Amino acid sequence: MKKISDLFSRSSRKRILYHSLFFGAIATASVISQAFSPSSKAYGQTPAPIVDNTEINSYAQAVLAMEPARQNAFEEIKKLIGNGEIPKIVCNDSNSINGLPRKAQDIAVNYCTRSQKIVEDNGLSIDQFNKITIELQNNNLLKRQVYNTLLRLQQTPESP
């Protein structure tokens, strides 16, 4: 009889991890997108913007760089709030931040500021980042390109 752990091969676990990281990264990107755009609307009939490989790479690097900060901020806020439900925090919505305890507000604002800097340090404007995030929701080709770029960036070089 096989153990439960044997049912998941190393490659299967890697694939699950990559998928989890990808969807976590996209979720983070969506939150950041909402955070920095006062009114982002995706219109079904607007032509898709052309995103080149450099922008895809910059976007993926920014998302990966933001993720540890997002997790850290979430954990810190979770500790402050305790067993209560953590509300959705949107950086450009002062009501979502003002509803937090004072220390949690500071953590959220700090995270939002760092995320904006990360995006800009990776060669994108907030508008570019938000446009890519919105486009990802409707463009499967772009989603696949970003996913593959995230995988490539996360791979560690093989030892000889």
93: Cβ contacts below 8 Å, ≥ 6 apart? 34
Beta carbons within 10 angstroms of residue 64's beta carbon: 18
For tokens 């570019």, name the residue: 128
How far apart (Å, rounded) are the C-alpha atoms in residues 48 and 132? 10
More confident residue, 152 or 1: 152
Q: Which two tokens stand for residue 33?
A: 């997108």
pLDDT per residue as tens digits for the range 59-102:
999 999 999 998 999 899 988 888 778 778 776 678 888 888 89
Render the burial of 85-121: b for 16+ CB within 10 Å, e for the rest: eeeebbbeeeebbeebeeebbebbeebbebbbebbee
pLDDT per residue as tens digits for the range 113-138:
999 999 999 999 988 988 898 899 99
Asked if pLDDT for residue 49 goes beyond 70, the answer is: no
How far apart (Å, rounded) are the C-alpha atoms in residues 34 and 14? 30
